Structure 1
Amino acid sequence: MRAAVYYGPHKLEVADVPEPTPTPGTVKVKVGFNGICGTDLHEYYAGPIFIPTSPHPLTGQQLPLTMGHEFSGVITEVGDGVTDYAAGDRVAVMPLYRCGHCGPCRAGNYNICQQIGFHGLMSDGGMAEYTVVPTDMLHRLPDHVSLELGALVEPMSVAYHAATLGEPTADGTSMVFGAGPIGIGLWFALRGKGVEDVFVVEPSATRRESIEALGARTLDPTAVDVPAFIADHTNGAGADAVFDAAGVTPAVETALACVGARRPMVSVAIYEKPLTTPLLNLVMNESRIQGSLCYTAEDFAAVIDLMAKGAYDTTGWVTSIPLDDVVDEGFEALHAGTKMKVLVDPAGTGAVS
């Protein structure tokens, strides 16, 4: 079968690899769509970072391996002992490997497992025609939720988990910094939670236009004094919940200047450079910074439920490409900023434009 195999920085090749066979407790999935994540970009341009160069303790796999951890597909075969799933089931995959015995796992917080692994980063993943996954990663898709949306459940669950940690109130003001895929996901999640008063802060005109087309209200931080605007908009109370999906110092500084007293700024970004942000506003406001990592099965279920209700829309920000174009039209285009979200289509159906 064909797969996108990662060998190291700037070396991702579409190659013929052996087709996998399910083992006990696993299923074989024919991949429908696989999204390219920001983490994948970091691996391609600066890795290996998370991709192991020695056997991972939970998967036993290491470089080189097939990338892809944001995917959906159709089960074609089940391994021994699998009774809850059958060939033909349409699924989204929650790609977490967890140890089950570290402190966070014992407390039920498996999304911050001390040995956490990801299918497609620490094992052969979904950027291929087929992949094999354990059944505890599977979430059924309703018939009217497309495989394209199914491939977005993973990144949208990252955003939903962060939105939940922010504890937004329906009558409060929420703010999202950054209108990339996770920022868009935060906007969808907040709306799904019943929050109507949401502003998305984004300096890129292209990204502002994309999220505005979905119905969002935006602020251009290069043209508007955002903290002053929010102070006026909230009668001095500040934002109820603030989310950083940008990962740069100016966004964090502005976000902290907007957050209300005893309210959180939730960080769901990867910071490539150290932050030198003054924390005086946090002290004076008794506000806080809350980290957010990954998702839980409950987040996956909530996102799929919202998708079934029509709460998510791929118009204008999601593009599908064939597997053979994964480097030029996928990684390079995302890095150049000419595309926002790319789904790799191993079968070449081209359902998303």
Structure 2
Amino acid sequence: MRAAVYYGPNKVEITDVPEPHPGEGQVKVKVGFNGICGTDLHEYYAGPIFIPTSPHPLTGQEMPLVLGHEFSGTVTELGKGVTGIAVGDRVAIEPLYRCGHCGPCRAGNYNICAQIGFHGLMSDGGMAEYTVVPTDMIHALPDNVSLELGALVEPMSVAYHAATLGDPKPEDTAMVFGAGPIGIGLWFALRGKGLDNVYVVEPSPTRRASIEALGAKTLDPTALDIPAFIADLTDGKGADAIYDAAGVQPAVETALGCIGPRKPLVSVAIYEKPLTTPLQKLVMNESRIQGSLCYTSADYEAVIDLMSQGHYDTTGWVDKIALDGVIDDGFEALHAGTKMKVLVDPSAGASE
């Protein structure tokens, strides 16, 4: 079968690899769509970062390996002992490997497992025609949720998990910094939680236009004093929940100027450069910065439920490409900013 194999920085090849078969407690999935994530871009241009160069303790795999951790598909084969799943089931994959015995795992917070692994970063993943996953990664998709949306459950669950950590109420004023895929996911999540007053801060006109087309209210930090606007909007009390999906110093500084007393700034970004955080603002405001990592099964189920209600819309920000286009139409286009979210169809263009 064909797959996108990672060999190191700037070296991903579309090549033939052996088709996998499920072992005990595993299922084989024919991949419908696989999203290219920001993490994949970091690995391609500057890796290996998370991709192991020696066997990972939970998967036993190391580079080179098949990329892809945001994917959906159809179950085609069951391993020994698998119950509750049937061939033909349409599924989204929650790609986390967890040890089950570290402190976070014992506390039920497996998304911050001390040895956490990702299918498609620490094992052969979904940027291939087929892949094999353990049954605890499987989430069934309702009939009215497409495989295209199914491939977006993973990044939308990242956003939903972060939105939940901010503990927003329907009457609150919330802010999202950054209108990339996670920022868009945060807007969808907050709207799904009943908030009407959600403002997305984004300097890029293209990205602002994309999320405005979905119905979002946006603010341009290059043309507006954002903290002054929020102070006026809220009669001086500040925003109730702020989310950073931008990952740059100016966004964090502006966010801290908007945050209300004893309210959270939830960080769901990857910071390529060290930040200088003005902690005095947090002290004087008794506000806080809250980190957010990944998701849990509850986030997956919440997102899938919202998708089944027609809550998510891919218009204007999602593109689909064939596996052969992963480099030029995928990594390079995303890196250049000409595309926002790319879903790879591993079967498109494949010989039958």
Q: Assess same fold via TM > 0.5.
A: yes
Residue in 1 that maps onto 2:228: 228
Determine the C-alpha separation between the residues in 2 that align with 1:184 and 1:349.
Answer: 30
Determine the C-alpha separation between the residues in 1 that align with 2:87 and 2:107.
Answer: 34
1:279 Cα deviation after fit = 1.7
TM-score by length of 1: 0.98
Residue in 1 that maps onto 2:115: 115
Instruction: Name the aligned partner's letter for residue 22 of structure 1.
Output: P
Give identity over the alignment, percent: 80
Determine the C-alpha separation between the residues in 1 that align with 2:184 and 2:195.
Answer: 14
1:86 Cα deviation after fit = 1.0
Structure 1: gaps of 5 or more residues: none
Residue in 2 that maps onto 1:307: 307
Residues 251-272 of structure 1: CA deviation (Å, up to 9, x unaligned):
0000011010000000000000
Residue in 1 that maps onto 2:32: 32
Moved over 3 A (4+): none
Residue in 2 that maps onto 1:75: 75
Instruction: Name the aligned partner's letter for residue 36 of structure 1.
Output: I
Determine the C-alpha separation between the residues in 1 that align with 2:160 and 2:256.
Answer: 21
After superposition, residues 268-283 of structure 1 pair within 5 angstroms as: 268-283=268-283
Determine the C-alpha separation between the residues in 2 that align with 1:5 and 1:114.
Answer: 26
Instruction: Name the aligned partner's letter for residue 320 of structure 2.
Output: S
Determine the C-alpha separation between the residues in 2 that align with 1:122 and 1:17.
Answer: 17
Instruction: Name the aligned partner's letter for residue 210 of structure 1.
Output: S
Change (3 A) 1:349 1:228: farther
Instruction: Name the aligned partner's letter for residue 103 of structure 2.
Output: G
Residue in 1 that maps onto 2:133: 133
1:277 Cα deviation after fit = 2.4
Q: Does 1:246 align with 2:282?
A: no
Residues 17-73 of structure 1: CA deviation (Å, up to 9, x unaligned):
000000000000000000000000000000000000000000000000000000000
After superposition, residues 151-300 of structure 1 pair within 5 angstroms as: 151-300=151-300
Instruction: Name the aligned partner's letter for residue 232 of structure 2.
Output: D
Determine the C-alpha separation between the residues in 2 that align with 1:347 and 1:213.
Answer: 30
Instruction: Name the aligned partner's letter for residue 13 of structure 2.
Output: E
Residue in 1 that maps onto 2:92: 92
Determine the C-alpha separation between the residues in 2 that align with 1:242 and 1:280.
Answer: 18
Structure 2: gaps of 5 or more residues: none
Residue in 1 that maps onto 2:316: 316
1:101 Cα deviation after fit = 0.4
> Number of residues paired by the alignment?
350
Q: Does 1:124 align with 2:127?
A: no
Provide the alpha-carbon RMSD of the alignment: 0.9
Determine the C-alpha separation between the residues in 1 that align with 2:306 and 2:193.
Answer: 10
Instruction: Name the aligned partner's letter for residue 10 of structure 1.
Output: N
Determine the C-alpha separation between the residues in 2 that align with 1:21 and 1:344.
Answer: 22
Determine the C-alpha separation between the residues in 1 that align with 2:124 and 2:113.
Answer: 20
Residue in 1 that maps onto 2:345: 345
Instruction: Name the aligned partner's letter for residue 38 of structure 1.
Output: G
Determine the C-alpha separation between the residues in 2 that align with 1:348 and 1:183.
Answer: 29
Determine the C-alpha separation between the residues in 2 that align with 1:2 and 1:87.
Answer: 22
1:349 Cα deviation after fit = 8.1
Q: Secondary structure at the match of 2:152?
A: helix
Determine the C-alpha separation between the residues in 2 that align with 1:349 and 1:266.
Answer: 41
Determine the C-alpha separation between the residues in 1 that align with 2:87 and 2:277.
Answer: 52
